[in-house]
Amino acid sequence: MGLCDDKLNRSLMLLIISKTGDNIVNIVYISGSPRKHSNTDYLLKLTLSITGGQFVKLSDYQIELCKACWTCQKLSRCTIDDEMNNIIIPMLLDSEGIVLGSSVYFNCVSAQLKAFMDRIA
């Protein structure tokens, strides 16, 4: 099963952020696709099956939008009380690598992934 399978022929944006560089063992794979059985999920889960790690589908979580309150600048953390702060951020802090995947929507990432990116900025 290669990366040129029909399911993967559509554009996918994949950004890999490695916090440690080598010996990555605990990788969190983030999918910004809201679609069930999505191409993004397929690609991320395929990679996860090789490396191990955890899969997070953002549309399964309650994630508020960034309000630009700048509290994060003062406290070095976001204070919005939602599943991004209570579930996803702790997973990311505990991880050694993060992989972001998204469907391409109007030559950009999906709204779900953009909301996620704004919250971890």
Ligand X SMILES: Cc1cc2nc3c(=O)[nH]c(=O)nc-3n(C[C@H](O)[C@H](O)[C@H](O)COP(=O)(O)O)c2cc1C
Which positions lie near ligand X, rule CB under 6 A? 10-11, 33, 35, 38-40, 103-107
Residue 5 CB, nearest approach to ligand X (Å): 12
Residue 116 CB, nearest approach to ligand X (Å): 15
| Nearer to ligand X (CB atom), residue 32 or residue 53 | 32
Contacts of 72 (CB under 8 A, 6+ apart): 78, 79, 121
The DSSP-derived string for 21-55 is SSS---EEEEE---STT-HHHHHHHHHHHHH--EE
| Nearer to ligand X (CB atom), residue 45 or residue 67 | 45
End-to-end Cα distance, the chain? 35
| Nearer to ligand X (CB atom), residue 24 or residue 98 | 98
